[in-house]
Structure 1
């Protein structure tokens, strides 16, 4: 508002009404670009110890890959955390199962940072110390992830309001995004679309202070205090 020399929110609302291009500027300004590895440790501890092993076991029985989607991945901390967990903890137990991660974000600049995989130490403090030494190399004042941890990640620029990756997923992390920044009606539409790409029995994970919109069906609470949900079966949807 200061840059536009506007004196009130009513004036800015009027500008949004008369100049459609201003919405794009506002949309960019509202994006959250801060994240960190192993964010909300209780969630990732549960993923490591119970959820990912359970999903991997099911994928192995069905002779298919385990596919996970990190929506709103920002500069890559969340999908890299998943990759580290798999490679350092689970890969030896599930040698016959392919683990694939699709990481999407609307911001192309953030995705470019993610592909480089270099971070300040502050964003890595949540990782166990032995993981830090096994997964990263120090380059000047930054910690850069070893190339092998990025091999299983596919980066995509997408707007979750209009596009989803192709295929079905066993797990979907949509944390601190849809249920925080969008109006309830839009939330409902997006989560119904997300439901369509999540396998029956698949896992949906929200941010710790989020909840699913009213009226959404097809999910059961799996771990209520961590906002982790399980996709219920649907005879009309192929697994």
Structure 2
């Protein structure tokens, strides 16, 4: 008998539903074998590329997606963005060999809840699955230090700009958009919240970045908090 997706999760003892996506079959098999032996965890599917990840996530509605970054057809970053749009409740953990800062930042911006390097013991994966499902965000220590360094750099650059020129004045609508960006909302969600088109949101974000002379949404939020243009509670 098929399970009704609308009632899934209603029972406290329901297993954590995991989708594994990696273009290396042996690695997928190793993860599946480890997770299959764990109480309270169920592997509901395996995919070999980003496009399969998107299609399977939409069909299977996983709780957790364990996914590589470098994959054929669609990258893990592209798949992450699409999955978060289609299945907002899914929590995505990047499990990858890439220790590139850009991949880490892009994964976070795309909505990933975790970023773990494949150097971790495969036996640690079940614990990571449970932690993310329980609401934690996980980043490998070596990558977390890079993230902290980047935020410190952004804050320093904001402080230098503050000393050079007064903060540019944003319109009330731009402030509304910036507050929603700070809450982690994407353009589509902001559009729904403010009852405007997604294209209008993109224009507002572009104007905000131009006025603040910044290059990314992350920089805009850090700058705005630094300038006390908004507070994140």
TM-score by length of 1: 0.30
Structure with the bigger RCO (C-alpha within 8 Å, sep 6+) is 1
TM-score, length basis structure 2 = 0.31
Higher helix proportion, which one?
2
Choose between structure 1 and 2: higher strand proportion.
1
